[in-house]
Amino acid sequence: MTKVVLPELGEGIEKATVSYWFLKAGDHVNEKEDLVELATDKATFNLPSPCSGVISEVLFQEGDAVNIGQVLATIDETQ
């Protein structure tokens, strides 16, 4: 299972808000495909999938605040 982690977005940025999920749990995703969009300050940031597989779990919903380093979703690469 691969964890999708919110990466560093810049100095002093500790959290971001989930603004849009391009896919949902159960969907197949390809590596580098847009997975989720985060909003912080006056910017949105598209996070691509780190691998190909099936999204097994989505841990934050649109509107939720996420800290840098937290897991947003898990992807099952075996499927």
Q: Which of 2, 15, 23, 39 binds another protein (CB under 8 A)?
A: 39
Question: Does 11 contact another protein by CB under 8 A?
Answer: yes
Q: Up-side HSE of residue 28: CA atoms within 13 Å toward CB?
A: 3
Residue the block writes with tokens 């075996």: 78
Query: How many angstroms separate the CA atoms of 59 and 29, rounded?
Result: 16
Residue count, binding to another protein (CB under 8 A) = 20
Q: Specify the stretch interacting with another protein by CB under 8 A; choose among 31-39, 50-58, 66-74.
A: 31-39
Question: Does 59 contact another protein by CB under 8 A?
Answer: no
